[in-house]
A and B are shown apart, each in its own frame.
Chain A
């Protein structure tokens, strides 16, 4: 059971380039989300999805696009990278249960925009 898998782990981009961060989960979770974490900060929600074909914006959606064509995959696209998007990105999926809503995070993608 792989859980939540993110790729790539590290990436350096030039300003203006575009790229896609991949995220896949094998737990059949309906809810998936993308967060960014800046140094010394908490996680901020970029976009989330409550199921295939359904996405919505979080706190900091500008400059990012998402799609959810399958339950398993939730890619995050940077349209035109900017230095302000230098951050660590975490993909997460969520299990809902009687004991509460547990979120499982991927290992993170370290992105540097120069």
Chain B
């Protein structure tokens, strides 16, 4: 089977840096993705890691350690609009993407 663990909620203030962790257990592994979802909206793709290391896209960075079955999403210079749910997702088998239960990020002024 496959399972992913994320914290249920994280709070931070504007301008701060926050890290959202994701640990996974899968029978196979092709990559770790991160998605953002605002209330009532659709998930939108943020980043993807297939290899170990850090991927940076603007204010967002994502890290993967395949040996530790662990990844994180790093959000810098937090803005109010970053308040949303963030999901990690693992492609652990052929064309099958499994999502974590999500981390709700609350950014306060």
Q: Is the CB of A48 within 8 A of B101?
A: no
How many chain B residues touch the partner (CB < 8 A)? Answer: 24
Chain A 47-81 interface 0/1 with B at a Cβ cutoff of 8 Å (1 = within): 01010000010110000000000000000000000
Q: Is the CB of B96 within 8 A of A100?
A: no
Q: Is the CB of B48 within 8 A of A106?
A: no
B-chain residues with CB within 8 Å of residue A99 when the two chains form the complex: 48
Interface residues on A, range: 20 to 34
Residue among A50, A59, A100 facing the most chain B CB atoms (10 A cut-off): A100
Q: Is the CB of A43 within 8 A of B96?
A: no
B-chain residues with CB within 8 Å of residue A33 when the two chains form the complex: 97
Q: Does chain A have a CB within 8 A of B87?
A: yes
Q: Is the CB of B95 within 8 A of A50?
A: yes
Chain B proximity of A42: nearest CB distance (Å): 4
Chain B proximity of A44: nearest CB distance (Å): 7
A contact residues vs B (CB 8 Å cutoff)? 31, 33, 35, 40-45, 48, 50, 56, 58-59, 90, 99-108
Which of B12-20, B37-45, B69-77 binds A?
Answer: B37-45
Q: Which of A40, A45, A100, A103 contacts B98 (CB 8 A)?
A: A45
Residue among A40, A50, A103 facing the most chain B CB atoms (10 A cut-off): A103
Q: Is the CB of A106 within 8 A of B98?
A: no
Task: Knowing A41-B101, A42-B100, say if A100 contacts B50 (CB, 8 Å).
Answer: yes
Q: Is the CB of A42 within 8 A of B87?
A: yes
Task: Knowing A42-B87, A104-B45, A107-B42, say if A31 contacts B95 (CB, 8 Å).
Answer: yes
Task: Knowing A42-B99, A42-B100, say if A101 contacts B87 (CB, 8 Å).
Answer: no
B-chain residues with CB within 8 Å of residue A59 when the two chains form the complex: 98
23 A-B pairs with CB atoms under 8 Å apart are: A31-B95, A33-B97, A41-B101, A41-B102, A42-B99, A42-B100, A42-B102, A43-B89, A45-B97, A45-B98, A58-B96, A90-B42, A99-B48, A100-B33, A100-B47, A100-B48, A100-B49, A100-B50, A101-B31, A102-B45, A103-B33, A105-B43, A106-B42
